[in-house]
């Protein structure tokens, strides 16, 4: 197995690995360390059944069903991201429009940790995914901003009311990664609504400043999908966004989700 860094702010390609095969302990260990170091990994030309994807995902934790309802007829752990319909029924969710920067499921009390996506069909243009390095964004903050935001919490909420928890969900603006113990920003344009304890005008101004900083191009790397790609990323130290693509183009991805622990800030 070869690990080749992208040369960008994050990301690495894994070469010489067949994710459909059972991996030995040494390979699993190298893969996990590579993910902790590079935050996003991608493996080209993978031919995986749904069961094989679920089995591979278990190297990173226990894959669980997505919170969104899905059509019957597939493994519960598989969530389909697609704009394709068959006989008037959508195969999956999330359409073809832009998805702004976010960390998966941050609107839940226990958000996603690792996400694993296998691409079956991708459009010829558009639909690229960008990831932002939230470690680097925190490290690059000036001292004044770090001091201001370090112990604040923010409200995370989905735009669809049915997706939200029964009670408001607040997470630290800066969180500690439970494995690396590094600090990372944890706010996003898609799900972060307000800073706890601040008046609306002050909250909006601080969020705008934070979001402009963490989505700066210097922290961002873009992945151009190919059919057969298998991509794994760590939501605890990254955000990602999807570029739009033509509605007539087909895009079918299958995703498995690992959940982690409630975000925290270590003193």
Convert the pLDDT of each residue in 163-176 to its tens digit. Answer: 999 999 999 999 99
Question: Tokens 């990664």 correspond to what residue?
Answer: 177
How confident is residue 225, by pLDDT bands cut at 50, 70 and 90? very high
Among residues 198, 245, 195, 199, the alpha carbon closest in space to that of 225 is found at: 245
Using the structure block, give the residue that is written with the tokens 């001292």. 143
CA torsion sign, 54 to 60 to 61 to 66? negative
pLDDT confidence band for 38 (50 / 70 / 90): very high
Give the residue-averaged pLDDT of 2-17. Answer: 98
Q: What angle do CA 171, 141, 148 make, to 5 degrees?
A: 55
Q: Return the SS3 of 255.
A: strand
**Alpha helix ranges (H) inside the chain:** 25-38, 50-57, 134-139, 143-149, 200-214
- pTM for the full predicted model: 0.95
* More confident: 63 or 91: 63
Q: What are 235's strand-pairing partners? A: none
Q: Is the pLDDT of residue 72 over 70?
A: no
**Binning pLDDT at 50, 70 and 90, where does residue 89 land?**
confident
Architecture of domain 2-91+109-128+224-258: 4-Layer Sandwich (3.60)
Q: Which of 58-67, 97-106, 181-190 has the lowest mean pLDDT?
A: 58-67
pLDDT at residue number 66? 84
Do residues 26 and 34 touch, judged by C-beta distance below 8 A? Answer: no
Q: What is the mean pLDDT of the chain?
A: 96
Q: What is the C-alpha to C-alpha distance for residues 132 and 235, in angstroms, rounded to an integer?
A: 10
pLDDT of residue 73: 64
Residue 47 has pLDDT above 80, yes or no: yes
Q: How far is CA 246 from CA 120, 121, 167, 205, 219, in A?
A: 17, 14, 37, 34, 27
For residue 82, pLDDT over 70 is answered with yes
CB 127 within 8 A of CB 227: no
Span 198-225, mean pLDDT? Answer: 98
């Amino acid at each position: 197995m070869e690990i080749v860094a992208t040369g960008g702010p994050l990301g690495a390609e894994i070469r010489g690995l067949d994710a459909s095969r059972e991996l030995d302990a040494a390979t699993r260990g190298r893969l996990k360390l590579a993910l902790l170091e590079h935050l996003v990994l991608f493996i080209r030309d993978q031919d995986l059944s749904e069961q094989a994807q679920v089995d591979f995902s278990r190297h990173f934790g226990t894959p669980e069903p997505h919170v969104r309802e899905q059509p019957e007829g597939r493994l519960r752990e598989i969530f389909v991201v697609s704009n394709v319909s068959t006989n008037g029924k959508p195969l999956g969710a999330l359409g073809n429009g832009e998805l702004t920067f976010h960390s998966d499921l941050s609107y839940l009390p226990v958000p996603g940790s690792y996400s694993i996506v296998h691409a079956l069909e991708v459009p010829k243009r558009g639909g690229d995914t960008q990831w932002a390095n939230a470690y680097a964004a925190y490290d690059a903050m000036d001292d004044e901003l770090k001091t201001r935001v370090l112990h604040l919490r923010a409200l995370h909420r989905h735009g669809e009311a049915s997706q939200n928890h029964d009670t408001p969900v607040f997470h630290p603006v800066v969180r500690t990664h439970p494995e690396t113990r590094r600090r990372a920003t944890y706010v996003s344009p898609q799900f972060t609504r307000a800073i706890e304890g601040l008046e609306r005008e002050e909250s909006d101004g601080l969020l705008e400043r934070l979001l402009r900083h963490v989505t700066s191009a210097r922290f961002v790397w873009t992945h151009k999908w190919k059919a057969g790609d298998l991509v794994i990323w760590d939501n605890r130290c990254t955000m990602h966004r999807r570029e739009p693509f033509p509605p007539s183009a087909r895009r079918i991805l299958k995703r498995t989700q690992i959940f982690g622990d409630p975000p925290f800030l270590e003193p």
